[in-house]
């Protein structure tokens, strides 16, 4: 079965195809987003979350907000809970070229929530409203939100997320992503897709993007079928299978071991363009290891990675994998 392909819009921006690479902290930086664009099948990428506090204090390097033309449209995601700082940070991301500004209302990490940001905003709808309103007022580009199902199960049971949906409409967001786990769940249990369906049924003026536990192309298809969501966002599955978006669009799309290794080499090249060699090697050790999962001698390669410190050696090891 093929994906029921239809585009949707975030404000005036057409998301084509309606498949989105999820924001992943310390992963979806510029080289990763460019790599995933080159693989194809993605209609929108989202930056890793950027702390609005770090941005306004100039503690976040401007080059980390770089967007290249080949990866548009690209949303920049902010995390914070001070409306004035979020507004200033939003203006900075817009000036840096963000096509969309997204606000994080989902991060469950205690270092984010203890200050009141991420999923902690779901406990204070008035503060959440002030934050979103401040961003909407500050920028011309569309503003979106990514939220969880609630802080905990009791908030989810009270269906408070529906109050948030209405509030977002009043404030004027242009799309909402729902990852239907509660903050208490962290990444445990299953994402409850019935909440995505309820959000779609609520008939909001903005599109709903479903997210959570899409592991295969068939899952993406099933999410659209079961929930009616306008777009599908994929996170963790794209780390071991960056081709998942292509597979959603082209049934029967397969990937050879040589393609996996070539992608690793290409991604390493992209990392070296903006990071110094030591940082690039460090990053490829983490991420390249995921791409080589399942290939012959991949486990041996990942063990070898621990002892590699130089770019040339790493490329040689990768090329050698192809001839084994």
Q: How far is CA 120 from the centre of its chain?
A: 19
**Residue nearer to ligand FMN on the CB measure, 23 or 83:** 23
Residue 148's CB: how many other CB atoms inside 10 A?
28
Within 13 Å of residue 115, how many CA atoms lie on the same side as its CB? 14
Please tell me the distance from the alpha carbon of residue 230 to that of residue 45, in angstroms, as a whole number: 16
Regarding 248 and contact with ligand FMN (CB under 6 A), the answer is: no
Regarding 242 and contact with ligand FMN (CB under 6 A), the answer is: no
- Out of 45, 51, 104, 119, the only residue in the binding site for ligand FMN (CB under 6 A) is 104
**Residue nearer to ligand FMN on the CB measure, 73 or 318:** 73
Choosing from 74, 107, 229, 264, which is the catalytic residue?
107
CB 45 within 8 A of CB 79: no
Pick from 243, 263, 265, 245: nearest CA to 255:
243
**Residue nearer to ligand FMN on the CB measure, 33 or 318:** 33
Place of tokens 């079965």: 1
- Out of 9, 25, 40, 66, the only residue in the binding site for ligand FMN (CB under 6 A) is 25
Pairs from 151-156 (Cβ < 8 Å, separation ≥ 24): 151/119, 151/120, 151/122, 151/123, 151/182, 151/183, 151/184, 152/182, 152/183, 152/184, 153/182, 153/184, 155/122, 155/123, 155/182, 156/182, 156/192, 156/195
Part in contact with ligand FMN (CB under 6 A); list of ranges 63-71, 88-96, 149-157, 235-243: 235-243
Helix axes 160-171, 194-201, angle to 10 degrees: 40
107 belongs to the catalytic site: yes
- Out of 16, 38, 48, 124, the only residue in the binding site for ligand FMN (CB under 6 A) is 48
Regarding 146 and contact with ligand FMN (CB under 6 A), the answer is: yes
- Out of 9, 11, 16, 24, the only residue in the binding site for ligand FMN (CB under 6 A) is 24
DSSP symbols for 234-284: E-THHHH-TTHHHHHHSTT----HHHHHHHHHHHHHHHHHHS-HHHHHHHH
Regarding 49 and contact with ligand FMN (CB under 6 A), the answer is: yes
Regarding 266 and contact with ligand FMN (CB under 6 A), the answer is: no
**Residue nearer to ligand FMN on the CB measure, 85 or 146:** 146
- Out of 22, 131, 199, 217, the only residue in the binding site for ligand FMN (CB under 6 A) is 22
Regarding 33 and contact with ligand FMN (CB under 6 A), the answer is: no
Regarding 222 and contact with ligand FMN (CB under 6 A), the answer is: no
Residue nearest to ligand FMN (CB): 235
Part in contact with ligand FMN (CB under 6 A); list of ranges 16-24, 86-94, 199-207, 263-271: 16-24
User: How many chain residues bind ligand FMN (CB under 6 A)?
Assistant: 20
Task: Please state the φ and ψ torsions of residue 206, each to the nearest 5 degrees.
Answer: -115, 155
C-alpha torsion angle, residues 103, 108, 112, 115 (rounded to 10):
100
Q: How far is the CB of 105 from ligand FMN (least distance, A)?
A: 8
Please tell me the distance from the alpha carbon of residue 126 to that of residue 130, in angstroms, as a whole number: 6
- Out of 128, 143, 195, 234, the only residue in the binding site for ligand FMN (CB under 6 A) is 234
Please tell me the distance from the alpha carbon of residue 107 to that of residue 110, in angstroms, as a whole number: 9
- Out of 173, 199, 214, 248, the only residue in the binding site for ligand FMN (CB under 6 A) is 214
- What are the residue numbers of the active site? 107
Residues at the interface with ligand FMN (CB under 6 A): 22-25, 48-49, 77, 104, 106-107, 146, 179, 211-214, 234-237
């Amino acid at each position: 079965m093929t994906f029921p392909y239809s585009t949707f819009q975030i404000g005036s921006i057409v998301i084509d195809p309606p498949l989105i690479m999820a924001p992943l902290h310390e992963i979806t930086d510029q080289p990763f987003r460019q790599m995933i664009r080159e693989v194809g099948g993605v209609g929108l990428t989202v930056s890793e979350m950027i702390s609005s506090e770090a941005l306004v204090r100039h503690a976040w390097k401007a080059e980390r907000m770089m967007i290249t033309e080949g990866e548009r449209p690209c949303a920049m995601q902010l995390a914070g809970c001070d409306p004035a700082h979020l507004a200033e940070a939003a203006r900075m991301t817009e000036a840096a070229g963000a096509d969309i500004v997204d606000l994080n209302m989902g991060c469950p990490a205690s270092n984010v929530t203890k200050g009141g940001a991420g999923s902690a905003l779901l406990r204070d709808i008035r503060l959440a409203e002030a934050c979103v309103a401040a961003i909407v007022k500050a920028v011309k580009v569309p503003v979106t939100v990514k939220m969880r199902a609630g802080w905990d199960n009791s908030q989810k049971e009270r269906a408070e997320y529906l109050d948030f949906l209405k509030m977002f409409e009043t404030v004027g967001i242009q799309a909402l992503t729902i990852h239907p786990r509660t903050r208490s769940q962290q990444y445990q249990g299953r994402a409850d897709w019935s909440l995505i369906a309820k959000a779609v049924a609520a008939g909001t003026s903005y599109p709903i993007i479903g997210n959570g536990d899409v592991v295969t192309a068939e899952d993406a298809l099933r999410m659209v079928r079961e929930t009616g969501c306008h777009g599908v966002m994929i996170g963790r599955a794209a780390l071991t299978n960056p081709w998942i978006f292509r597979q959603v669009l082209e049934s029967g799309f397969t990937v050879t071991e040589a393609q996996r290794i070539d992608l690793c080499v290409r991604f390493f090249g992209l990392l070296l363009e903006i990071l110094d060699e030591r940082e690039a090697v460090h990053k490829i050790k983490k991420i390249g290891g995921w791409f080589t999962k399942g290939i012959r001698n991949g486990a041996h390669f990942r063990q070898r990675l621990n002892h590699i410190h130089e770019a040339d050696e790493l490329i040689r090891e990768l090329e050698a994998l192809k001839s084994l």
